Chain A
Amino acid sequence: MIKKALLSLAAGLALLLLMLLMVPGGGRPSDFSLFLGRFHPVVVHLPIGILFIGVVLDLLARRWSRLEQTVLIMLFAGAWAAILAAIVGLYLAQGGGYDPGTLAWHKRLGVLTAAAAAAAWGLKAWPDLAQRPATRNERYGYAGSIAALVLSVALTGHLGGTLTHGDGFLTRYMPDGLRFIAGLPDKDDIGKLQLEDPAKTTTYDALIAPVLQDKCVSCHRDGRKRGGLALDTQDNLMTGGDDGPVVVAGRAEESTLIHRLWLPLHADDHMPPEGSPQLTIAEAELIRWWIHTGASFEVMLADAEVTPVIQAILDGYGLDEIKTGIFALDIAPADSSDIAALAALGVSVTRLAEDTPFLQVRCTSAEACGTDSFVQALRPLARHIAWLDLGRTALGDEALPVIRDLPHLTRLYLNQTNVTSAGLSNLAGLEYLEYLNLFGTGVGDAGLEALAALPSLRSLYLWQTTVTDSAVAVLQAAAPFLYINTGSSLEPAATE
């Protein structure tokens, strides 16, 4: 009986060692092996529990010798459970996505656990089989196996946890005193980017190049330009690939680089390709922000326009989703009675989306807008209005002061109104304004001066105003990322 058990255990260990040599290898694993692999988390807890009880019973057996037989059963069952757990674990590892260094040690120690349990059982069972007391060497061997078993179960389990939950899972909320003893930084500093002196390092070198290096350059570098694109040097990054430039300075949303990062993971054009390490949302947001603010290689980190979102990333908070501009702000939803009061004036008011407090407001008739009651109805919603369409009404400059109190405007339509240059000074504080429509107004060159300083402005419509080409050129020079439309003519193209 014991002989058979001994043989079966030896066969099991041999099988495990064989698989350790055979199973790893490239190529996509079959669905069935992945199916088996996913039982690893279930099976793996059996040897941990069984062997733990075995070791405890072994200590107790020194006092109550009738427990000896139970210890043997526990060690045998634990050894088999460890072999099974290791085998399904090898299948699970085939699926990929684990840190290779940690995984290699986890594998070795897992096999060691199975071997140590089997050895301990064998060294204890063998003398019984021979019907003689254990020799001195067998006793030492047994004690050594139990010690190795305890260590390897603990270490394998810890590494398994690290593989699943990520590095630092155990110590994340460890008291600072213990962290100090363990040689870890204080809790508050966890995740904070370790930056060099911000006055001496550029934003690009500090924040962008490391991400590209880490996630992109293995396929996009001189010597291996996938899609004709290399991202290893500044020149290569700005040159772009087979389909042209990938970075449009100041216009992140039009940059192919950002586009590819933002595509859904399963889309063909998504980068990095599915299965490769992906950029974190925070990393993608850093790149977007760098392009949005001009894609400069010279700006020092200390001089960069750091938004609250970017500051949060630098402080190590990470990001759960992409939120930019006003959407990164934490604003309580508007009171529905305030919305109803504005709507009652004949104004179209709706939320921009279901999960945001921001509103779009559209004025369809001059009678409803521009009155004192309209201005009064806007006030309680001042922080919530993001899109304000006052176009095609008879509003004039006298109605604009209320805009000073709408800090979160991103789109403002004043087209075909009586607004003039004088009224535009009210826009000076709109730090989030991206779109401004002044088509068909009395705005002239003087009004443009107020617009050059709007940091987020990207689209400006000036057709049928009195602005001159030279004033537009001055504005364009001051705001290089701004799209300015002054109207256009339509002639057929030469097609022959």
Chain B
Amino acid sequence: MNVYQEACHAHLGHVTRRHFLRTAGTGLGAIALASLGMAPAPGDPLAPRRPHFTPSARRVIFLHMAGGPSPLELFDYKPDLVRLDGELCPDSLLEGKRFAFIRGVPKMLGPQATFKQHGESGAWVSNHMPYFAQVVDEVAFLKAMHTDEFNHAPAQLLVHSGSPRPGRPGMGAWVTYGLGTDNENLPAFVVLLSGGAAPDAGASVYGSGFLPTVYQGVQCRSKGDPVLFLNNPRGVPRNLRQASIQAINRINRQQHEEVGDPGILTRIAQYEMAFRMQTSVPEAMDIGAEPAYIHEMYGTQPGETAFSNNCLLARRLVERGVRFVQLFHWGWDSHGAAASEALNDGFLKRCKETDQPVAALIQDLKQRGLLDDTLIIWGGEFGRTPMMENRSGTDNPYVGRDHHSDAYTMWLAGGGARGGISHGQTDPIGYSGISGRVHIHDLQATVLHLLGLDHLRLTYPFQGRDFRLTDVHGEVVHQILT
């Protein structure tokens, strides 16, 4: 052995010993196996952790309307746009702008809805959301949201991970990393999909990025097995499965003691979690256990993959202590190029599918006393232009709008968001925010704030620097906090 090899060898010895000492003290290694089916041990990456300051929200339900629902047909009432319907868009609005599909000079498109004020707060809601109109007093509207991206995948990534490119953890992963879970038997971060397709950006919108994978969102299904690949193989009883997991984890622990790779601890925790989930998840995901009046309230479709089912599931999950429930409902991309994506067809169906369950979710959480500390977030990845998009340039029976990143509406309810207020304003045609503009990073800072987390201090070291959900941006929108 020459001197160089000897030095490498000695270095390796230092590394592994240091890694071992570091993780054995606080990590899972020493105690992981003993805890199968028992309380989470200290050092468990999912153990509950104290926030930075006293939280007002303890849980989050994020209703992501994938595709970008049009605020001009829902909450942002623009009477002037009625008058301008069919006029050519003035050049001044187009200068220096880029759109996803609009080319040349488009025509303005009036609101494809009628509006009325509702509730004590007098919030404007269109005729497409009659149920939601009943609960507006619980809701804080953000009328002048804006984002940096006008295509679905990067915009969705920005909403969830704070960056338009893949590789960063989703909001639910950050929150779980910051606060841990209140229920060791269920995933801390659950994802529920509906609408016939996954989000354009794929699973990376709820991935864990550079955080330990134990924080990634677990997709659950309302039809068939709630979590895929969780069942025991035929002929393997539960106690045999337990024994084999214990054996695997014992070997994994030895391996961890030798090489000190924290990824192994994550793997051990996930095996344990999967084993516990075999009994707890089917119970939580069984909406058949709900009484008929609850099904009626949400308008569920048992046995189907439906947004309404997912709303009811979201309530069942937060009741059981799940920290972050992420819903995606696909199909809000109302370009007007086909029936399914037209403001006068597919859009109306999306409204009908979501209106009642969303209102029911707010109301149901409220009467259970859970809305006080459960934050609901509603919104898409961007808004839509006040101009009509006519991609083919021909007469067709469908109307639609293009993607628009400058101004759109999102809302928050519960969890310390101030009900019955509207923050921010857009110009008379809903093209740009003129006051109270809120960027995606500001929204993220606000959500973390409600959970008691300081977005500047919730960091994770990766590739030589500390990363945040809000990157180097973000201001808490104090105006909408109670």
Contact = CB atoms under 8 A, between A and B. Distances in A.
Q: Do A and B bind each other?
A: yes
B101 interface: no
A346 B40 CA distance: 7
Contact of B368 (A254, A343, A364, A415): A415
A488 B367 contact: yes
Given A459-B372, A491-B134, A355 B321 contact: no
Contacts of B368: 415, 437, 439-440, 461, 463
Interface residues of B, number: 48
A269 B126 CA distance: 28
Instruction: Say whether chain A's binding surface is mostly helix, strand, loop, or mixed.
Output: loop
Nearest to B51: A353
Nearest to A351: B50
B321 A362 contact: yes
B406 interface: no
B67 to A, nearest CB: 23
Contact of A353 (B50, B127, B359): B50
Contacts of A494: 130
B116 interface: yes
A64 B446 CA distance: 74
Instruction: Say whether chain B's binding surface is mostly helix, strand, loop, or mixed.
Output: loop
B49 interface: yes
Contacts of A259: 418
A354 B479 CA distance: 24
Residue from B53, B368, B372 with most neighbouring chain A CB atoms (10 Å): B368
A493 B134 contact: yes
Contacts of A392: 319-320
Contacts of A440: 368
B311 interface: no
Nearest to B299: A490
A333 to B, nearest CB: 11
A350 B50 contact: yes
Interface string A355-385: 1100000101000000000000000000000
B361 to A, nearest CB: 10
A492 B130 contact: yes
A11 B253 CA distance: 85
A174 interface: no
Given A348-B48, A350-B49, A461-B368, A269 B134 contact: no
Nearest to A254: B482
A495 B54 contact: no
Interface in B15-60: 38-39, 42, 48-55
A355 B53 contact: yes
A352 interface: yes
B38 A439 contact: no
A345 B39 contact: yes
A349 B184 CA distance: 13
Contacts of A349: 48
A76 B38 CA distance: 85
Nearest to A256: B421
Contact of A495 (B53, B127, B418, B482): B127
Contact of B367 (A327, A439, A459, A492): A439
B111 to A, nearest CB: 13
B9 interface: no
Nearest to A486: B367
A466 B297 CA distance: 22
Contacts of B452: 352-353
Contacts of A353: 50-55, 452
B116 A495 contact: yes
Interface in B184-209: 184-185
A419 to B, nearest CB: 14
A490 B367 CA distance: 12
B467 interface: no
Interface string A10-45: 000000000000000000000000000000000000
B50 A352 contact: yes
A352 B53 CA distance: 7
Interface in A440-462: 440, 459, 461
Contacts of B435: 268
Nearest to A359: B50
A129 interface: no
A344 B131 contact: no
Contacts of B127: 495-496
B319 A495 contact: no
B478 interface: yes
Given A267-B479, A485-B367, A493-B130, A348 B360 contact: no
A204 B368 CA distance: 38
Contacts of B482: 253-254
A492 B131 CA distance: 4
A327 B54 CA distance: 10
Contacts of A344: 39
B257 interface: no
A262 B50 CA distance: 24
A463 B370 CA distance: 12
Contact of A350 (B48, B135, B367, B372): B48
Nearest to A392: B319
Nearest to B185: A364
B321 A354 contact: no
Contacts of A170: none
Contacts of B42: 340, 343
A253 B130 CA distance: 30
A364 B322 CA distance: 11
Interface string B75-103: 00000000000000000000000000000
Contacts of A413: 369
A435 interface: yes
Given A269-B479, A490-B134, A493-B134, A343 B363 contact: no
Contacts of A364: 182-185, 320-321
A328 interface: no
Interface string A405-444: 0000000010100000000000000000001010110000
B130 A463 contact: no
A260 B482 CA distance: 11
A492 B134 contact: yes
B133 interface: yes
Contacts of B363: 488, 490
Given A267-B478, A459-B372, A348 B116 contact: no
A263 B367 contact: no
B255 interface: no
B114 interface: yes
Contact of A354 (B50, B114, B180): B50
B367 to A, nearest CB: 4
Interface string B419-447: 00000000000000001100000000000
A493 B131 contact: yes
A353 B363 CA distance: 29
A101 interface: no
A495 B319 CA distance: 32
Interface string B169-191: 00000000000101111000000
B307 to A, nearest CB: 16
A461 B50 contact: no
A326 to B, nearest CB: 10
A108 to B, nearest CB: 43
Interface string A315-355: 00000000000010000000000001001111011111111
23 contacts: A254-B482, A345-B39, A346-B38, A348-B48, A348-B182, A350-B49, A350-B50, A352-B51, A353-B51, A353-B53, A353-B55, A364-B182, A392-B319, A392-B320, A439-B368, A439-B369, A463-B368, A490-B363, A492-B131, A492-B133, A492-B356, A493-B131, A496-B114
Given A354-B52, A485-B369, A490-B363, 10 more contacts: A263-B478, A267-B478, A268-B436, A353-B51, A364-B321, A392-B320, A437-B368, A440-B368, A490-B131, A493-B116
Q: Which A-B residue pairs are the 6 nearest by beta carbons?
A: A461-B369, A492-B130, A351-B50, A495-B127, A437-B369, A493-B133
Interface of B: 38-39, 42, 48-55, 114, 116, 118, 125-127, 129-131, 133-135, 180, 182-185, 297, 319-321, 356, 359-360, 363, 366-369, 372, 418, 435-436, 452, 478-479, 482
